[in-house]
Structure 1
Amino acid sequence: MPSRNAVIVGVTLGQLVRQLPSARFGLAPGRVRRAAWARALRLSFERLGPAFVKLGQLISVRPDEFSAELVAEMQSMQDAVPPIPASAIRSVIRSEFAAEPEELFASFDDTPLAAASIAQVHRATLAAPCRPVWGDVLPAGAEVVVKVVRPGAAESIRGDVAIVRRLATRLAGTRFARRFDPVALVDEFAETVDRELDLRKEGRFADRFVFDFRDDDKVVAPRIVWSRTTAKVLTMEYITGWRLSDLETARAAGVDCKGLAIHGATAFMRQVFVYGRYHADLHPANIFVTPENTIAYLDFGIVGYLTPEERMNITQVMAALVYRDPDRALRYSEKLGVHVPPEHVEPVRKGLGELLDGDVRPDGTRDFAHFGLGFLRLLGAHDIAIPGGYGLLIKSLATVEGVARALYPEIDIVSTAQPFTTRILGRAMGDPVRVRERMPAAVRAALRVLTE
């Protein structure tokens, strides 16, 4: 039997060879050629299993480090695999709780709702009332979903991560790694996988999210049943709704898609600018609109965190977009770790100004994705390293804009952000600590003006 290394190399080379005609044997224009190689990698990752599917998903939210063609291709990655027998899922539950599913739940459906590379999801009902960390009691008979880590998934994925890390070490320093640090990417990937393999971490973030939006009756997330949750089993409230691909049905049922688009964009701004923790993987399978006219957030596997200082600097970058100020955008991006060498400052500033001037759509609304993703491409064109968190946030904001525009095409996410940026900057101006820090420089500037 060939080694896992040989399988990985063989599958990848095989897919690359199959894409040679599409790339015209390397002679196609750059975009066509890159799209063909990206398709080969996506197909390879899907065949190679869970670790590579997760790596592809990480690539899909990192336009700061990878080409637009590769990011777009990985966004279509299908994390759907054939379900494993219910007997295997039952064995995990039995191992975690020393009890059969029928002893833990009033009912347990052996037919899975969904099967992905790491976990499989089954429907069940509660046998007894459950008080979640926040919100009303879930009564006996309430519908829940039980997410179970597939047997052997952890060992298989961690083995593949070790192989990918060795490949990344060899790739580091080559011309293929000019735009990104492959070892750092694998470290980030390993951290993401470890988080997804311990379902309690997803449960804790979901609880935190529910608490953050406890005063908002338009934003919901599943409440966790901790008495039926372990590292390998996560039991949570079942939420019904329509995906973004089924909005016509939602509208026909009376859902206010325009109102939810505006509210949902505002909710994301609240996550970023107020709480500093946000859902970073809002693809259509992870967000619903519900019959109760709410937005439901699901699957908190990929999340982002911002320190108070980072939140202030991100606020300033967003203010630069609102007020079309490239100098402010560069100054505060520098504080976020985007270091532009002196010889590149002028061309980057010029390119940034062009992006700010070109972010208006024909309907008069502003296009954050044009600016944000364009800025990442501009930095990449000048071989300027982009911190992972910065790129993840910009990609998340662009995704939220896309989600909101699916609900209401005329939404302007920049205008949605403006009240947050104005309020946060206004509070910062009155902060005594900030005033003390800035006062000497302000006095010096005033004296220079007065004595000219």
Structure 2
Amino acid sequence: MHPGNIFVAGKPEDPHYILVDFGIMGSLSNQDQRYLAENLLAFFKRDYRRVAELHLESGWIASNVRIEEFEAAMRTVCEPLFGKALHEISFGQLLLQLIHTAQEFHIIIQPQLLLIQKTLLNVEGLARQLHPKLDLLKTAKPFVERWMKKQLGFRAFLRKIKENLPYWAEKFPDFPDLIYLALQKYIRRN
């Protein structure tokens, strides 16, 4: 997605955005979507400890990174963004801070996230042109919360059960034997 693929129609006070030309597309696994949603929600809640934990859990940072130091670094980079309109934020400076943090903590760049990162930068640039006083974080938070609910809510739980039911049904007859083998191993160890 780039600005040439985005059209704005309608009245300025009620614009309609039209997206075209999805030539290069990527996809995220359910796990990547979940981690991304949880990271964004933790960021919007200013829960930098959770952001750090999620990076560690997902393998985006090395296991030997001191979580408190990474949490403090994320707070230093992200906290100044809240309550500011787009025209008040230097995204060049923000990008430099993020790159420095990535280098300092040996963050593993996730190739599957590159397209979404590029798209977010393009959308930010377009939003800056169309609505420079927009508080992007305040505007995006409800969308992220709805997405998070869709990814992790009760319906998502039921959907996962439905998707996995055939696999579980196939494996269920082996379950008693697996329990027996596990108990035998436990008994032998003790």
Q: 1:426 to 1:405 in 2, by over 3 A?
A: same
Which one-letter code corresponds to 1:289 in the other structure? V
In the alignment, which residue of structure 2 is the partner of 1:152? none
- Listed as ranges, the matches of 1:51-90 within 5 Å are none
Aligned length in residues: 153
In the alignment, which residue of structure 2 is the partner of 1:398? 121
Which one-letter code corresponds to 1:316 in the other structure? E
Which one-letter code corresponds to 1:381 in the other structure? E
In the alignment, which residue of structure 2 is the partner of 1:416? 139
1:333 to 38, 48, 55: 55
Which one-letter code corresponds to 1:430 in the other structure? F
Q: RMSD of the TM alignment (CA)?
A: 3.4
In the alignment, which residue of structure 2 is the partner of 1:384? 107
Find out whether 1:359 has 2:78 as its counterpart: no
- Listed as ranges, the matches of 1:195-206 within 5 Å are none
How many angstroms does 1:341 deviate by?
A: 3.6
Which one-letter code corresponds to 1:411 in the other structure? L
The CA deviation string for residues 236-256 of structure 1, in whole angstroms up to 9 with x for no partner, is xxxxxxxxxxxxxxxxxxxxx
> Is the CA contact 2:39–2:54 (under 8 Å) kept in the aligned structure 1?
yes
Q: Structure 2 length as normaliser, TM-score?
A: 0.62
In the alignment, which residue of structure 2 is the partner of 1:348? 70
How many angstroms does 1:344 deviate by?
A: 4.5
Which one-letter code corresponds to 2:125 in the other structure? G
The answer to which structure, 1 or 2, has the higher relative contact order (CA under 8 A, 6+ apart) is: 2
- Listed as ranges, the matches of 1:87-236 within 5 Å are none
Residue identity (%): 24
In the alignment, which residue of structure 2 is the partner of 1:309? 31
* Distance in structure 2 (CA, Å) of the matches to 1:296 and 1:303: 17
* Distance in structure 1 (CA, Å) of the matches to 2:153 and 2:79: 28
In the alignment, which residue of structure 2 is the partner of 1:212? none
> Is the CA contact 2:61–2:105 (under 8 Å) kept in the aligned structure 1?
no
Larger radius of gyration: 1
* Distance in structure 1 (CA, Å) of the matches to 2:21 and 2:156: 40
> Is the CA contact 1:368–1:401 (under 8 Å) kept in the aligned structure 2?
no
* Distance in structure 2 (CA, Å) of the matches to 1:373 and 1:296: 31
Q: Which structure's residues are more often helix, by fraction?
A: 2
Q: 5+ residue gaps in structure 2?
A: 159-190
* Distance in structure 1 (CA, Å) of the matches to 2:56 and 2:88: 24
Q: 1:357 to 1:332 in 2, by over 3 A?
A: same
Q: Structure 1 length as normaliser, TM-score?
A: 0.29
Which one-letter code corresponds to 2:102 in the other structure? L
* Distance in structure 2 (CA, Å) of the matches to 1:432 and 1:298: 29
Q: 1:395 to 1:368 in 2, by over 3 A?
A: farther
